[in-house]
């Protein structure tokens, strides 16, 4: 679950204003204690590393004909997508 930037700022602001420890802050806001120091270092969430790309169906058919025994993981690497995308396309 990802928390909003506003909520993260509120948590850090409250911690600084009230002089709370990381554990106290986490307990007060009912969040994981590992989240607080991570938000202190980087308030914005990191960009997702998932790859989004449409799979050309005709290219996939050619790939299946050329490599009939290939694993989905191998096809995913050739197409530059995740294994689930290959599974869904098949």
pLDDT of 24 higher than 70? yes
Report the pLDDT value the prediction gives residue 44, as an integer from 0 to 100: 74
pLDDT tens digits, one per residue of 34-87: 999 999 888 776 655 555 568 889 999 999 999 999 999 999 988 888 899 999
CA distances from residue 76 to 35, 62, 66 in whole angstroms, order as listed: 33, 14, 15
Confidence of residue 4 (pLDDT cuts 50, 70, 90): confident
For residues 13-36, average pLDDT: 94
Domain ranges of the chain: 5-41, 57-89
Report the pLDDT value the prediction gives residue 62, as an integer from 0 to 100: 94
Contacts of 43 (CB under 8 A, 6+ apart): 5, 8, 9, 12
Confidence of residue 30 (pLDDT cuts 50, 70, 90): very high
Give the ranges where the chain is alpha helix by DSSP (H): 5-18, 22-29, 35-41, 57-66, 72-79, 83-89
């Amino acid at each position: 679950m990802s928390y909003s930037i506003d909520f993260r700022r509120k948590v850090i602001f409250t911690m600084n204003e009230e002089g709370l420890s990381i554990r106290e802050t986490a307990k007060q806001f009912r969040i994981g204690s590992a989240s607080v120091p991570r938000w202190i270092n980087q308030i914005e969430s990191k960009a997702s590393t998932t790859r989004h790309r449409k799979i050309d169906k005709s290219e996939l058919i050619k790939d299946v004909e050329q490599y009939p025994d290939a694993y989905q993981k191998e096809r995913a690497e050739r197409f530059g997508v995740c294994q689930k995308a290959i599974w869904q396309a098949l």
